[in-house]
Structure 1
Amino acid sequence: MSVRMKQLYLALPIVLSLGGASVNAREVIPLKVDAQNIAATQAMVGDQPGLFMFDSGIGTSSITPATAKRIGCIPWGKVTGFRAIGERLDLSRCNTTSVTVGAFRVSMPQVVVIDLEKFMGPSARKFSGILGLDLFAGQIVTLDVADNRVVLEDHQSLAEIRRAGTEVPIRLVRAAEGAALTVDLGVPTRQGLLWMEIDTGNYGPSLIDRKAAALVSLDASKTTRQDWRVTPKPGLESSGTAVVRDLILDGDLGRDVLRHWVVTVDLATGHGWIKQSKQ
């Protein structure tokens, strides 16, 4: 999600479903980081090219009103999602269109329309929208925050990942009647697993629900940033800062944590693997 939205600690899982597509070979999607530290990539919606942010926590891919106009869409209907703090957000949508990123092309049954400038200010004008994991539903995807890239894996490359990485518990989250797609990582505590969203669009501190704070050695009474460590499996350690809030989920893992890992998720079977980043 955008810098300003994450500075306000507002996660934005919205809604969207997508059509099937297949990847027969490994495809690397480089992400370019701008002066605001936002990771984005060139893509096409329909026949219209543009610069799109990539955010694994967005829930549903989206386009701006200007992009909708360029592809001939008059936004309609209502798509409802909730921010991490529980605030409701109603958006309109466009019907079926294709999205192309590199050599990957998929037919999306719908895309949500969002006014990014409302959340980010004038800096959002260069973006045509946001791409999320729903774009890659059914695929095997590696999120490499340190190297600023998304990799679409094939079964051969997955075999290498399984040898080099550690399998971790993940949960595919299909909010909004199964339309949205995000991924939660299971983080063990003395009470059991906390399910924390893997959110490459969180450029600020990670977010932890107040009731879960003590389980990850955080002070639930503090509202400022706290240092913390995350260890989903022995040998997989990461650290960063976190803020305790009242959330509608256990937590949200931001880039300061994710940059220590290379995370691979099978968006068809619901399996995941992590290896430590070399950086």
Structure 2
Amino acid sequence: MHIVVTFLIALLLSVPAAAQVQVQATPETSVKLEQWRSRWVLPVTIAGKPRRLLFDTAGGLTLLSRDTVTQAGCTPWGRLTGFRMFGDRGDTARCSEVAIELPGYRVAPPAVGLINLGKLNPLDAELDGLASLNMFDGKAITLDLASGELTIESEASLSHRVASMKALKVRLSREVQGLALAVLVEVPTSKGPVWMELDSGNGGTVLVGKHVAEFVGLDPNKQTKQRARFAIADGVEVQTADAFTPDIILDGNLGMPFLKNWIITLDLRRGLAWVAAAKRSAQQ
């Protein structure tokens, strides 16, 4: 009888402990993205109205349509200036403290800009803007762009998540007076490291700057697409038949042909990153 009672007490004590561990490792929130051709859309709420933002990890600034910011009570003012990867300058008026809501998460970035996606591409006309990483400044997020899931990690869930992942060397890029946020990953070459931007807004290509193309085995003078295969870390490779070597002001841009193959966790406070192979469905 004593043995049975002791066992039952031990069992009862273990259940809350297990539950506590599970609760402590729960992320802040997880959001299902919506498929948008070869890219993803982040559903949000702004000023009480559902909005759909193209999820673009290389966008730098979150950009909203004029209708969206007007409904949120902002009259755009001033100017923000940045440069796109082909070197062309972009100017936009700004809005401050526009609240953007996801289930379990609310953020009001210090600044958002304006964009008309339909003017850039008529197929994107129904979208309300561009969601960039500055929406998650100071947070840790995990991107599973094979299945379309974005997770905002807690400290506990971050520790649990990355324990089995491979660390990557990254830099946080902050342009537009420090208001923008993007992530560049180190790519080793025989001459030294180069840094390539993670870009979920690039649905179909990997771009390697003409000035570094030969160092990752590509032809800098080829005008058409070519096959690329180069390492980022042990067991982590870029492999695609859709690489180009344009004259850009970045070393490179890793779009969905790379990102869809990996689960990537980004600590946007500490400037750290980890990667694991994405799970592929039978259809993929």
Give the TM-score, by structure 1 length: 0.87
- Structure 1 counterpart of 2:19: none
Q: Which runs of 5+ in 1 are unaligned?
A: 1-23
% of aligned pairs identical? 33
Residue 139 (structure 1) aligned with residue 118 (structure 2): no
Q: Cα deviation per residue 1:90-140 (whole Å; 9 max; x = unaligned)? A: 11111222110121101222211111111011x333211111110000001
Q: Which residue in the other structure is 1:118 paired with?
A: 119
Find the aligned partners of 1:230 and 1:268 in 2 and give their Cα distance: 28
**Which residue is equivalent to 1:6?**
none
In structure 2, the residue corresponding to 1:186 is in which secondary structure? strand
Q: 1:66 Cα shift?
A: 1.7
Q: Distance in 2 between matches of 1:76 and 1:155?
A: 37
**Cα RMSD after superposing both structures:** 1.4
Aligned to 2:30: 28
Q: Tell me, what secondary structure is at the counterpart of 2:130?
A: strand
TM-aligned CA distance change 1:142 to 1:230, over 3 Å = farther
Q: Which residue of 1 aligns with 2:101?
A: 100
Structure of higher CA gyration radius: 2
TM-score by length of structure 2 reads: 0.85
For residue 177 of structure 2, what is the aligned residue in structure 1?
A: 177
CA contact (8 A) 1:42 1:50 kept: yes
The corresponding residue for 2:9 is none
The answer to which of 47-56 and 216-225 deviates more is 47-56
Q: Which protein has greater RCO, CA pairs closer than 8 Å, 6+ apart?
A: 1
Residues 197-231 of structure 1, C-alpha deviation per residue, up to 9 Å, x if partnerless? Answer: 00111012111111110011000110111111232
Secondary structure of 1:33's counterpart equals strand
* 1:1-279 aligned within 5 A: 25-34=27-36, 36-121=37-122, 123-240=123-240, 241-279=242-280
Q: Which runs of 4+ in 1 moved over 4 A?
A: none
Aligned-partner residue type, residue 34 of structure 2: K
- 3-state DSSP class of the match of 1:157? helix
**Tell me, which stretches of 5 or more residues in structure 2 are unaligned?**
1-25
Cα distance in 1 for partners of 2:95, 2:271 equals 28
Aligned residues: 254
Equivalents in 1 of 2:32, 2:51: separation in Å? 15
